[in-house]
Structure 1
Amino acid sequence: MTDGGYGDFEFERRFLVRDMPEELRDAPALIVQSYYLADEGYALRLRATAPGVDAPMDAGTDAVTLLDRYASEVDLCTLTVKGPMAGGTRYEAEREVDVAVGLQMIRRGGSRIVKTRWSVWLGDDGWVVDVFGGADHPLVVAECERSGPVTDLQIPAFCVTELTDDPRFSNDALASRPFAGWRTAYAAELAASGPRFLQDFGRNERLAGP
């Protein structure tokens, strides 16, 4: 997280992605996260990151199996305390922990999620696109994070609808209530309501496809 003068707060907007364009598949990283607390937006998270690992994500993906397979590639473990999201802003205090200790803690407990993260530059912003595995497959979420409020955003064409204010799609919520269990109900909900993009953050601009 970059400190833009706001201390331990992050600013982001998040979107559902239906089909990630192949042209954007660059700079992958395997991420395994374990949540030791996830309740009403408050979370305690341990994350292991293995850069350069393009691990395929499907419903059968097992977080610990992948963690063991690519343990030698993990170069960063972080412990993070999070508060609830409010208007695209969330408290987040993070510190780096020893990789060996972090890996052992993730193996030993918590509610885990696994994903491949892709980093791309689109329009005026850097974006990450998370492709989830295991019980959260086939969920794909795009996120733009800035060091201050995310206003006047250029939204990529592959973003289907905005998830910023939907707590069901936070990673900590997905760890305890995986997407597979309510995917069908959400698809019906989206079909009935149609896509939505928040209007409280200045002017939204849709980018053309790649």
Structure 2
Amino acid sequence: MSDTGYGDFEFERRFWVERPPTDLLESAPALIVQSYLLAQDGFAVRVRAQASAVSEPLDPADDELALLERHVRAVDFCAITVKGPMVEGTRYEAERELDPAVAVELIRRADARVAKLRHSVWLGADGWVIDVFAGGNAPLVVAEVERGGPVTDLVIPDFCVTEVTTDGRFANDGLARSPYGAWASSFATELVTTGPRFLTGLGHNHRAGDVPPA
């Protein structure tokens, strides 16, 4: 349980990135490989394995399981997480740390997997992560900001093209079932047709560099 007064609820907003900001990407990001024991109607049970610093480039031929096996000796954190549906940037999320040996075996036995390199960066007052997906979800890049309470009045970096916080296709459990690589081109067409979208019920959004309203 968190100490923010909101219990096991997480507050985040997520954005689709077309061109990753290379100047902000760490040289040794964390590798995350996770699988879903259950993922339905926004409810999910996830097992995650993480290697905190991966300095060598990933082999684009590797799928999610191959990436895990290649870096399994570097795994230094694992957890199982229970999630509820996302509602306007708020989601129930209860996590418990697991022994790496057990977690890795669970991931090996589950079919729905996601792998990504996670870069962490501070932008203004907020901590962001930039997830560069691998395997079947390449070339997807998603930027995510998380706070201890609702993410309101957000300064949105210029590299964030459109918000996907409430788009179930971009949730990790959605990507595990239907990898982005299979529908990337159709999403690009959709984006041209609809234009960027951002949540409007969480205060005032403004772009980095813009002057906030008085």
Match of 2:15 in 1: 15
Counterpart CA distance in 2 for 1:131 and 1:193 is: 24
Aligned length: 208
Match of 1:129 in 2: 130
Match of 2:65 in 1: 64
Is the contact made by 2:63 and 2:136 (CA closer than 8 Å) also made in structure 1?
no
Q: CA RMSD in A?
A: 1.5
Is the contact made by 1:83 and 1:90 (CA closer than 8 Å) also made in structure 2?
yes
Bigger mean CA deviation after superposition, 88-97 or 23-32: 23-32
Mapping for residues 2-41 of structure 1, pairs under 5 Å: 2-26=2-26, 28-41=29-42
Question: What is the one-letter code of the residue matched to 1:21?
Answer: P
Match of 2:156 in 1: 155
**What are the ranges of 5 or more consecutive residues in structure 2 without an aligned counterpart?**
210-214
Is the contact made by 1:57 and 1:132 (CA closer than 8 Å) also made in structure 2?
no
Bigger mean CA deviation after superposition, 195-204 or 87-96: 195-204
Give CA-to-partner distance per residue, 1:102-142, whole Å, 9 cap, x none. Answer: 11111122311110000000011000010011111110000
TM-score (norm 2): 0.92
Structure 1 outlier segments of 4+, above 2 Å: 54-61
Counterpart CA distance in 1 for 2:121 and 2:138 is: 21
Counterpart CA distance in 1 for 2:144 and 2:3 is: 18
Counterpart CA distance in 2 for 1:58 and 1:100 is: 24
Counterpart CA distance in 2 for 1:42 and 1:160 is: 27
Question: What is the one-letter code of the residue matched to 1:10?
Answer: E
TM-score (norm 1): 0.94
Match of 1:196 in 2: 197
Question: What is the one-letter code of the residue matched to 2:163?
Answer: E
Match of 1:108 in 2: 109
**What are the ranges of 5 or more consecutive residues in structure 1 without an aligned counterpart?**
none
Counterpart CA distance in 2 for 1:102 and 1:158 is: 34
> Following TM superposition, by how much is the alpha carbon of 1:24 offset from its aligned partner in structure 2, in angstroms?
0.6
| Secondary structure at the counterpart of residue 72 of structure 1 | helix
Counterpart CA distance in 1 for 2:202 and 2:21 is: 26
Counterpart CA distance in 1 for 2:74 and 2:162 is: 34
| Secondary structure at the counterpart of residue 187 of structure 2 | helix
